[in-house]
Chains A and B, each alone.
Chain A
Amino acid sequence: MNQNNLARRRLLVAIVAFSGTAAIGLEPRLSLLSRAWAESPAQPDAGVRAAMLRMARLLYPHDALPDSVYAGILDRALSDVAAGADFRKQLDQAAAALDARAGRPWQDLDLAAQIAAMRGIETEAFFVAIENAVRAGIYNDPAFWKHVGYPGPSKGFGGYLHHGAGEIDWLPENL
């Protein structure tokens, strides 16, 4: 029983610690909502912000999406209670690294040179973090879904059985 008691004590301590962490991780969507009135964290300066907005679009360029979609992704990541400060640092690092590559303000370069500078830093951890945030932001956004014809979860209208499942009109007859 000694071993059992020890295991139990460990378990109780760990569960308390674990629940604390889990509670933060559990509600990513709720915390997104609450961010609207969360204290505004320190923002990157205007130059960094403009460069990063440009970079976000060059990461996943979709002409149909307005700048507000890209800006919203940066804002949400910046206002994350747990990771916002780190994200700000990553934006600063990326902007500085791009300027250093360019030898002048990166935004002054032409499109091809801007992309080349991004390729030059794409393996840096700060770049990957921004890339991941923008990718998740764009492709989880119902505005993008609508643009490409995906209406979102179908449970609400009873699935696709009577809403276009199996419809395809271009397959060749002759196989």
Chain B
Amino acid sequence: MAKRYELDDDSVVVVIGSGAGGGTVSNELAQKGIDVVCLEAGNRLTLADVVNDSAVMDQKMGWHDMRLGAPLWICKTVGGTTMRWSGVTPRFRDFEFRSRSTYGALGSTTLIDWPLTLEEIAPYYDKAESKMGVSGTHDMPPSFETSNYKVLKAGGQRVGYREITSARTAINSVARDGRPACQQIGFCWDGCAVGAKWSTLYTEIPKAEETGHFELRIGAMAVKIEHDEKGKVRSVVYADATGALHEQKARAVCVAGNVVETTRLLHNSKSNLFPDGLGNTSGHLGRNYMRHVMNLTLAIMPGEVNFHRGTRQSGIILDEQRQDPARGFAGGYVIETIADQPYSIAAIIGGWGEEAADFMENYANIAGCWITGEDPPQADNRITFHATERDAYGLPVPVVAYSDHPNSAAMRKHAAQRCSALYESLGARRTKNVADIGGGCHNMGVARMSERPADGVTNRFGRVHDIPNLFVSDGSLFSSSAAPNPTLTIVALAIRQVEHIADSMNRREL
């Protein structure tokens, strides 16, 4: 049963955000009998609210507060960005946790190794995959093979790839965990209408509520974390939907607001003791913002593909997820199918005239894939705050600075050649590669984990280095971006973090 906690109840863990990180941390804590208040800035949708129309869904759940600089595609809603994702969940590989040792300094980057190894996180990958129902793992069969995937697979085989799979997607391939199998509705990036794709909205959150150790407060925008004179955090100030401020006491706080809001909250919580913001003793808070190298390839094939029939990302190729300097860049990338509605395709390919129209005339014949690739951290890719502009909450407006590293340009060029060759091997009439598809959906790194406190914001469990009861629980933790989509790793780290929190509580350290 959903519970209510008093504002002055200082036994609760306050979790900020209800997405992949916050939703998972909330439920994992509640399952262990630890009381949780989760503050979610957005509203609570139901499956009946989900329609196959990105523009409508964006009005229902997009994050529209004023921001300057590079755009991000994230959500203000219960479930956070697990309501806007493709479900692709490959694991990081061993070398990706040793990025600095493997790649070298890469010129102007701020690369570090992760303070943990694949071996340490592997058991938590297992738990995350089981929780999310990742296809092709545990008891879940691989996903249905869509025609777009069949094209990717055939072309991939022709150009010599071997690790091609329709597995590794957190969409039910069979009915499981009270949720149905995927119906191949298509264009489901902005929400699965039947709940086949994992989202904390209808998994972690209701499960947490059933424990009787969890309260979700919607429309609750955290604006400041307060601490005591010793530097331990003691409460979270938040605005409710009417704008009234409340202060919830806390035993510990887990911040999972996605990179911009996580940075902003820690930054705005600055005090005499922490004049540059909580967790910013090293100066790394808000820096090393990473969002993956992307390249989109669309091809007009000799026959119909009808890529609208089925999930957007229905299969992947993992052969390029490796370190091989002979390719001319460091790190790897994952190739994934992609599909979009006519307007999105027209907007992505851009241009006008006979050529653009001809491409669109062949909509039924389009096959598509994109890559997500390792994006090296750079100090000046960062979140800062405008000196005078204030948003609807009266808070300083975030400014997102992001620019490519030369390594990314080299990787993108390689990927464009490989993916074009893949489709051309099957007789593609035209291929188009688009580098910038306009925005960060994989957001990582602004409160990164580091072995040495001077190199980052959080330790190997995601605890802020110099604050014993303050944790970061979202993609902000990533020490480096690796190649794969981040959600599986966010969930694995969240499960691991909760074990650490529970152990610390048992030892009376928290």
Residues of A within 8 A of B (CB): 4, 6-12, 14-15, 17-18, 22, 25-26, 28-29, 58-62, 115, 118, 122, 131, 135-136, 138-140, 144-145, 148-150, 152-155, 158-161, 163-172, 175
Contacts and interface: CB of A to CB of B under 8 A. Distances in A.
A138 B301 CA distance: 23
A15 B243 contact: yes
Contacts of A9: 394
A165 B154 CA distance: 17
Contact of B391 (A14, A26, A167): A14
Interface string B152-194: 0010011000000000000000000000001111110000011
Given A61-B354, A165-B146, A12 B243 contact: yes
B121 interface: no
B402 to A, nearest CB: 23
* Chain A interface, DSSP helix/strand/loop, else mixed: helix
Given A11-B243, A145-B342, 5 more contacts: A61-B354, A148-B342, A166-B144, A166-B145, A168-B150
Interface of B: 50-53, 55-56, 59, 64, 144-147, 150-151, 154, 157-158, 182-187, 193-194, 223, 237, 239, 242-245, 301-306, 308-310, 341-343, 345-347, 352-354, 356-357, 360-364, 390-394, 426
Given A161-B144, A164-B309, A170-B303, A10 B394 contact: yes
Contact of B392 (A15, A144, A153): A15
Given A150-B342, A159-B186, A14 B390 contact: yes
Contact of B390 (A10, A122, A144): A10
Contacts of A28: 55, 59
B185 A136 contact: no
B17 to A, nearest CB: 19
13 contacts: A11-B245, A60-B360, A61-B354, A148-B362, A153-B53, A155-B51, A164-B306, A165-B310, A167-B147, A168-B151, A171-B154, A172-B426, A175-B157
B310 A160 contact: yes
A170 B302 contact: yes
A65 B187 CA distance: 25
Nearest to A18: B392
B352 A135 contact: yes
Nearest to B345: A139
B59 A26 contact: yes
Contacts of A4: 237, 245
A113 to B, nearest CB: 14
Nearest to B221: A11
Given A11-B243, A171-B426, A158 B352 contact: no
B243 A8 contact: yes
A168 B305 contact: yes
A153 B223 contact: no
A9 B239 CA distance: 11
A149 B244 CA distance: 51
A158 B183 contact: yes
A139 B304 contact: no
Closest 6 CB pairs of A and B: A10-B394, A159-B183, A170-B303, A153-B52, A160-B309, A159-B185
